[in-house]
Amino acid sequence: MNILMVSASGNFFGGEKVLLNLSEYFRSLDHNVEIIVPFEGEFTLEITKRNFKYHIIPIKNSFSIKAFYPFYRLVKDNNFDLIHSHGYVPNQISRIISQITDKPVVCLLHVIQDYNWENLGMKSFYYKILDRMTNALTSKIINVAVSKPVSNSAKYLKAEIIYNGVSNPDQSYDYPEKIKVFAMVGRIVNIKGIDTVLKAMKKLKDHDIKLLLYGDDITPKKKWKNKYIKYINENDLNVEMMGYIKDPQEIYSRFDVLIHASKEGHEGCPLVLIEAMIRKKLVIYSRINASKSVMKKNGIPFSTDDVTDLTDKIKEILTWEKTKIKNKIQADFDYANKRFSLNKFFKKHENIVKRLYAKKNIL
C-alpha cells in the first residue's frame, strides 16, 4: 500500500513525533510511506535521517491555496492508496483532495478541545467554515484524547478515540532521596505557562531547588525566550535554559519532577506527560481539559495560571520522603504503561487503514 502522511509543521513537536512513529510502523509492514511537510525544519532533518521521502507543500501558508494543485498532482501522479493527515488545516485540505482523487483519508486531531480562534481575526471565519464544510468528506477521524465536543460529535464525524502511545524504555531507575530538580519540556512560548512557573520559582528562592527549561522559541526574534531570560536574570532565579535536545534519555535523566503548566485550548494529548510517567518522573500539571483527560487521578494537579497553588504543590512534594516519592512514581508508571501502550496505538491505526483500503478496493 502507498500511504501519504501529511504534517502540520516542519518543526518537531508532539504531533510530528506521532506521525513519524506511525510512519515507521507502516513501513515495517512493507507499506511505502511518504510525507508532506509545509516547510523545512527539525522535522525534515529527522525524516531525512530515517530515510523517508518527503515533499514540501506549503499547506499552512497563504491559507493553503498554493497547496491544492501540488497536493492533487502528488496523489494522482504517484497513485497513493490512502492519505493520513495530522492537524486542523492539513485535515481540511486532505479531505478535499480525498474527494477529488477518490482516495480514503484518515484525519488525526492532536488538539481536540475547542481551538482558540479569537487571535486569528478573519482567518478564524475561514477555518471554521472550511472545517464544517469538509467534515462530512472524511473517511475516518481519530482523536488522541477524550473531550466533550469530540464525544458529542462522534456519530456524524465518524470519530474514534485512540490514545497516543509511548514506548517503554524498560530501564532501571534510581528514585531520588529528596526532590531537587524540576523541568519543563516543550516550546518556549507563553501558552506553555512558563510565566506561571517562573513566578513560583521566585516565591521558592529560599529553597534548594532548580528548574531546567528544555525546548526552543520559534517566534520571530525569540521574543518569549528573551522575555523569560530577562525575568530570570532580574530575579536571580536558579533556572537554566537547556535548549532543544532530541534524545529523551538525556532530558529525563537530569530532573526529578516535570512541570506541565499549559494554558487551556492549546493541547490535545500531551505526549510529555505520558513520557514523564513512563520514565518514572513525578508530574505536576495544570488542570486544563487535555491534561486531565490524560492524567485522570494521577500526577499532582494545580489550578491553571495559579502561582500560589503551584507554589504550594511544589512545597508539598519537597517534604516527601523517598518511600512516598517511589510509591507515587510507581503508581503513575503502572497507570501510563497500561493505558498508553504504543503497540495498541499502532494496531488500532493498522486496522483502520486495512478496513478503509479493503472497502475501497471492494467498491
172 domain residue, yes or no: no
Q: In the prediction, which pLDDT does 88 show?
A: 77
Distance CA 137, CA 90 (A): 14
List pLDDT tens digits, range 92-151.
889 889 999 999 999 887 654 444 444 555 555 666 666 666 666 777 777 766 554 444
Could you tell me which of 69, 65, 281 has the C-alpha nearest to residue 183? 281
Look at the block and give the residue holding cell 510525507: 35
Domain check: are 82 and 116 in the same one?
Answer: yes
pLDDT for the residue numbered 318: 97
Q: Which domain holds residue 129?
A: 2-164+341-362
Span 300-324, pLDDT tens digits: 999 999 999 999 999 999 999 999 9
Tell which residue, 96, 103, 131, has the closest CA to residue 117.
131
Q: Is there a single domain that holds both residue 132 and residue 104?
A: yes
CA dist., res. 271 & res. 275, Å (int): 6
C-alpha 187/C-alpha 363 separation (Å) is 45
The domain that contains 139 carries what CATH number?
3.40.50.2000
The grid cell for 162 is 485512540
Q: Which amino acid is at 105?
A: V
Question: What are 126's three cell numbers?
Answer: 475561514
pLDDT of residue 154: 43
Q: Are residues 322 and 354 in the same domain?
A: no
Type and span of the H or E element at 161 = strand 159-161
The count of structural domains within the chain is 2
> Which uninterrupted H or E stretch holds 229?
helix 223-234
Q: Give the residue among 110, 115, 143, 117 at the shortest CA–CA distance from 264.
A: 115
185-197: per-residue pLDDT in tens?
A: 998 988 999 999 9
The answer to whether residue 153 scores a pLDDT higher than 50 is no
The count of other CB atoms within 10 Å of the CB of residue 137 is: 16
Residues comprising the chain, all counted: 363
Whole-angstrom distance, CA of residue 118 vs CA of residue 298: 32
Q: How confident is the model at residue 222 (pLDDT cuts 50, 70, 90)?
A: confident
Establish how many alpha carbons lie within 13 A of residue 142's alpha carbon, considering only the half-sphere containing its beta carbon.
23
Residue 159 grid cell = 470519530
Do 318 and 350 belong to one domain?
Answer: no
- Across 163-190, average pLDDT: 88
Helix (H, G, I), strand (E, B) or coil at 15: helix
